[in-house]
Amino acid sequence: MGDPEPSTAEVWVPSLIGGFPTQDDRVPSILLLVLFICSLSPWIKRQFDPNTRTITLGFATFVFAMGQIPVFTFRGFRSHHHEPGEILGEWMTTYQQLAFAVGYTGLMLDLVSFARVVLVNATLEDQRRGSRDRPTLRGKIRRLLWYLGFLLSVVSGLGSVVYSILFVFTQRQDRADRFWHLRYASDALPLIIILTFIGGLLYIRPRLEFLDKPAVDALVKLSLTLAIVPIYRLTVLHYKSPSMQIFPSEPFPASSLTPTRAKVVFYICHILPGVLVVYYIHFINIRAKFNAGPYGDWYHNDKKNGIPQLREEGVLVEGVGVGPIAQPKKPTIRWWLKFLFIFESRPSRTRDAEKDDFDPDRESLLTLVPTRSVSGDKSDKAWW
């Protein structure tokens, strides 16, 4: 049975990515909901371990996983309650399409930040491996990847604006056609960026000395996995439907992306790549894998922020990694012992002692006060 042809009396709008939620979405939605919820636990657990804690590194992946939970909660609920002619909620439909459109770009932002750490590490001086400091190359790498991340953010913002006013485009045919073209732009640009990123890593892999090649290979594989999402989207964006809200009746037209076969392709090509990337990033030790600190490498100027330093052979050492060289804390006197020597700062002096300007044998009692200092491994040191 062929797809119905558009008429002049109705507005034909781009079809919903993923189609309308039906009984075919019940099991996948419940499974994906459980998977995304479970993916948060290793990220939360990581924050309590100072050796694996990440602050900004990998945070976009956590946000992506959180954003998918309401999407599949909604799809799972609607798969139980739907009838032909029923109108879907405007707000949740908009959020669902927005999450599908720009979610994977957040994952790509994390991959760019990982790549920056790996490439910057290759430019650092390390006597054990015989590498010299290369500040000029480090600056070029930082600028290039900063521009790439900025471009991804702009594209993500473009997609967010377009999909946030989704139903404004459904009122007139000229607006629907404009939205159809904007959808192509919001998916073609991320694909170009991802392919450029992969090509750049493959180009620099055999040419940059002291580069962590296993880490680069992991980034290439993750990027190739994410590239499946925009490729799939570009292949289905040409489909149109008479409505984005009114639930169609069976048999579902192929152009609505609601039939069972279309749903299978959607979950495999659009959702599964994101799940795989989320689980990889959340379940591995990011700091050990990419040789980074909790913040990654987000500095722009060595003179201002300090030259970053390498980890010690991949060992998880607090304060060591890509970032400014940590300055040791000054020893501080324990507050409760200061009261014991409060009078020592102004000792009583005899006339004979006042005549002596300096006594080398005289030692302040404060030098015997237990102090708290920080060693190389950040452990507390005390005289007892």
Structural domains of the chain, ranges and CATH numbers in brackets: 13-305 (1.20.1070.10), 332-381 (no CATH)
Global pTM reads 0.76
For residue 251, pLDDT beyond 80:
no
Residue 383 has pLDDT above 60, yes or no: no
**What single DSSP character describes residue 164?**
H
Among 89-93, 166-170, 241-245, 372-376, the least confident range: 372-376
Question: Is the separation of the CB atoms in 211 and 173 below 8 Å?
Answer: no
Q: State how far the Cα of 64 lies from the Cα of 43, in Å rounded to an integer.
A: 13
Residue 378's pLDDT is 47
**Closest-CA residue to 8 (of 121, 172, 142, 239):** 172
> Is the model more confident about 250 or about 227?
227
CA distance 273 to 231: 12
Q: Which tokens belong to 280? A: 């990889």
How far is it, in rounded angstroms, from Cα 99 to Cα 127?
47
pLDDT in tens, 327-377: 445 555 555 555 555 545 455 455 454 444 444 444 444 444 444 444 444
Yes or no: say if 270 and 232 are a contact pair by the CB < 8 Å rule: yes
Residue 295: pLDDT band (50, 70, 90) is confident
pLDDT tens figures, 72-114: 998 888 877 766 767 777 788 889 989 999 999 999 999 999 9
Report the sign of the C-alpha dihedral through residues 136, 138, 139, 141, in that order. Answer: positive
3-class secondary structure, 363 = coil
Between the alpha carbon of residue 312 and those of residues 41, 205, 315, the distances in Å are 28, 22, 6
Name the average pLDDT for the chain.
78
